[in-house]
Amino acid sequence: MQPFERLTSAVIPILHNDIDTDQIIPARYLKVTDKNGLAEGLFARWRYLPDGSLNMDFPLNQARYQGRQILLAGDNFGCGSSREHAPWALIAWNIRVVISTSFADIFRNNALKNGLLPLQIDKETHARLIDLAEQERRQNGAAEDWAVTVDLAAQTLTLPDGFQAHFPIETFHKTCLLKGLDSLGYLLDFSAQIDAYEQSERAYPFGVRRYDFA
């Protein structure tokens, strides 16, 4: 996985509440053998019209949102089935962070173990971001892009006006993201210590250690 330390990007606003995993990646796209192929199916029900053409009202199809790596969502993102293809599809689109006020537990765990940061913020910060996204939409892309900064080490989200919010993340998941490790990679990172422990245990084949109490 690619290490995640700090990211500055404008956001892609998809502000529906209760976006479930079937909306993120419909079932018909789950048969691909290459994760990169999942980008085609990301939000396919909204990205495409019934005739197969692009829905230009949807943010992912609009020029000003191309290249952005942070998705701003509504409440309860990633609910529904447990398909791991949902974070895979987001990552295939080069999204590194999803911001919401809440995430479904299974989606959150799947995201973290695949290198996607589910960044949970409070209602006030979320409202500030929505206001910024709405200002950009009203100006129809005429204004300069605005960006937010995610600092994983400091666990902060900084808005363009300097407003800063703290976000929670477990130490294990934070370490894995910073180093670009999955759970197996995290374990292998301690190979030297594990080998040293096993060597020390071989000196006591019967599980009995001698201690000097003098």
pTM of the predicted protein model: 0.86
Which CATH code, of 3.20.19.10, 3.40.50.261, 1.10.10.10, 3.40.50.2000, is assigned to 6-199?
A: 3.20.19.10
The answer to whether the beta carbons of residues 110 and 98 sit under 8 Å apart is: no
- For the chain, the 3-state helix, strand and coil shares in percent, each to the nearest 5, are 40, 15, 45
pLDDT tens, residue order, the chain (214 aa): 899 999 999 999 999 999 999 999 999 998 877 787 899 999 999 999 999 999 999 999 999 999 999 999 999 999 998 899 999 999 999 999 999 999 999 999 999 999 999 999 999 999 999 999 999 888 875 455 689 999 999 999 999 999 999 999 999 999 999 999 977 666 666 667 766 666 776 766 665 555 554 4
Give me the residue spans of the domains in the chain: 6-199
Report the alpha-carbon distance of residue 147 to residue 157 in Å, rounded: 11
